């Protein structure tokens, strides 16, 4: 079957999205829609996989057998999430096996702050380039980044591409469990005189890094994502929702929210994370 001209597909697609309809078939997609959809789903897939690889050492280094099992389950969840997303990408004719073999998702950087830069040519959100060096890091990653990812992924639950919406239902439920794990341990560590300072120090490391994941306010790509119904909110709206959420949680645990300076104010010549 011959595809309609791209201009015609674009007009029909935007009309359908404006009426609240969902895109279900590649044949409905304009070239632009498909490009932006692929980019967003690749970012999620790569982040899920790189996150899982970063957690793997903590299966062995967990403080007790209960946590060994818990961390192993989180790793399994994240790999499953990645596989769900890569299967969706296969439906868009991405050669996932070749892509997987050509990237090192275990790569980590030896740097305190890479701002909003990526350290390689995969699509992971750049926080996944940082190593997790202490148990308090692992917990604060749960507390900050899993919550940040949850706020970002909310838009995907009702985006314009139905297969992505369907896949996100199970993923989002499991991410909520990961957040709960981080909350439970943050409470435990912050209430102990022996570990309160450690968890506060980890908070000061991971909170700014998480605040950097959301991208620039009013970014051109985000405008296009919203045009195509792939996102619903501006980057800064999502960041503000996360910041309010984390502030409320931190207050309950007796933690002081670190100061965050937007990257644009200190590294204006460097690119932001796409989106």
For residue 31, pLDDT over 70 is answered with: yes
For residue 268, pLDDT over 60 is answered with: no
Contacts of 115 (CB under 8 A, 6+ apart): 212, 263, 266, 267, 270
- Structure confidence by residue, pLDDT tens digits, 156-186: 999 999 999 999 999 999 999 999 999 999 9
pTM above 0.85, yes or no: yes
The pLDDT assigned to 64 comes to: 97
Q: How confident is the model at residue 273 (pLDDT cuts 50, 70, 90)?
A: very low
| Mean pLDDT calculated for residue range 1-26 | 91
Q: How confident is the model at residue 274 (pLDDT cuts 50, 70, 90)?
A: very low
Tokens 């490391």, residue? Answer: 205
| Mean pLDDT calculated for residue range 253-267 | 79
- 198 versus 107: the higher-pLDDT residue is 198
The pLDDT assigned to 269 comes to: 38
> CA 228, CA 28: separation in Å to the nearest integer?
13
The pLDDT assigned to 130 comes to: 93
For residue 192, pLDDT over 60 is answered with: yes
| Mean pLDDT calculated for residue range 84-92 | 97
For residue 190, how far is the Cα from the chain centroid? Answer: 25
Cβ atoms of 127 and 145 closer than 8 Å: yes
- Structure confidence by residue, pLDDT tens digits, 221-239: 999 999 999 999 999 999 9
For residue 113, pLDDT over 60 is answered with: yes
DSSP string for residues in 129-168: GS---SHHHHHHHIIIIIHHHHHHHGGGGG-SBHHHHHHH
Q: How confident is the model at residue 121 (pLDDT cuts 50, 70, 90)?
A: confident
> CA 182, CA 132: separation in Å to the nearest integer?
14
Tokens 């045009």, residue? Answer: 227
Tokens 């969840």, residue? Answer: 77
Provide, for the chain, the percentages of residues in helix, strand and coil under a 3-state DSSP scheme, each rounded to the nearest 5. 65, 0, 30
Q: How confident is the model at residue 112 (pLDDT cuts 50, 70, 90)?
A: confident
For residue 267, pLDDT over 80 is answered with: no
Contacts of 214 (CB under 8 A, 6+ apart): 148, 152, 235, 236, 238, 239, 242
Q: How confident is the model at residue 264 (pLDDT cuts 50, 70, 90)?
A: low
Tell which residue, 110, 116, 76, 61, has the closest CA to residue 267. 116
**In Å, how far are 37, 41, 194 from 31, measured between CA atoms?**
10, 15, 56
The pLDDT assigned to 2 comes to: 63
- Domains by residue range for the chain, with CATH: 27-106+125-260 (1.20.1260.10)
Q: How confident is the model at residue 37 (pLDDT cuts 50, 70, 90)?
A: very high
Task: State the Rg of the chain over Cα.
Answer: 19
- 192 versus 273: the higher-pLDDT residue is 192
The pLDDT assigned to 4 comes to: 85
Cβ atoms of 160 and 22 closer than 8 Å: yes
| Mean pLDDT calculated for residue range 82-88 | 97
> CA 46, CA 128: separation in Å to the nearest integer?
9
């Amino acid at each position: 079957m011959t595809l309609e001209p791209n201009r015609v597909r674009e007009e029909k697609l935007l009309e359908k999205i404006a009426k609240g309809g969902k895109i279900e078939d590649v044949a409905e997609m304009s070239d632009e829609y498909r490009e932006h959809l692929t980019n967003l789903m690749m970012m999620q897939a790569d982040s899920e996989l790189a996150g899982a690889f970063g957690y793997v050492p903590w299966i062995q280094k967990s403080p007790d057998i209960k946590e060994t099992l818990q961390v192993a389950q989180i790793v399994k969840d994240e790999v499953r999430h990645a596989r769900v997303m890569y299967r969706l990408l296969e439906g868009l004719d991405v050669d996932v096996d070749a892509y997987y073999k050509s990237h090192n998702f275990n790569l980590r950087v030896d740097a305190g702050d890479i701002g909003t830069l990526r350290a390689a040519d995969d699509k992971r959100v750049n926080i996944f380039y940082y190593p997790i060096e202490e148990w308090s890091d692992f917990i604060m990653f749960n507390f900050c980044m899993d919550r940040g990812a949850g706020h970002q992924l909310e838009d995907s639950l009702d985006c314009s591409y139905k297969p992505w919406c369907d896949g996100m239902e199970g993923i989002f439920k499991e991410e909520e469990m990961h957040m709960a794990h981080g909350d439970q341990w943050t409470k435990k560590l912050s209430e102990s005189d022996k570990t309160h300072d450690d968890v506060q120090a980890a908070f000061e490391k991971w909170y700014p890094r998480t605040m950097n994941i959301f991208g620039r306010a009013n970014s051109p790509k985000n405008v296009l994502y919203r045009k195509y119904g792939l996102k619903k909110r501006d980057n800064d709206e999502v960041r503000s929702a996360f910041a309010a959420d984390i502030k409320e949680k931190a207050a309950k645990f007796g933690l002081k929210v670190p100061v965050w300076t937007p990257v644009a104010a200190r590294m204006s010549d460097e690119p932001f994370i796409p989106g």
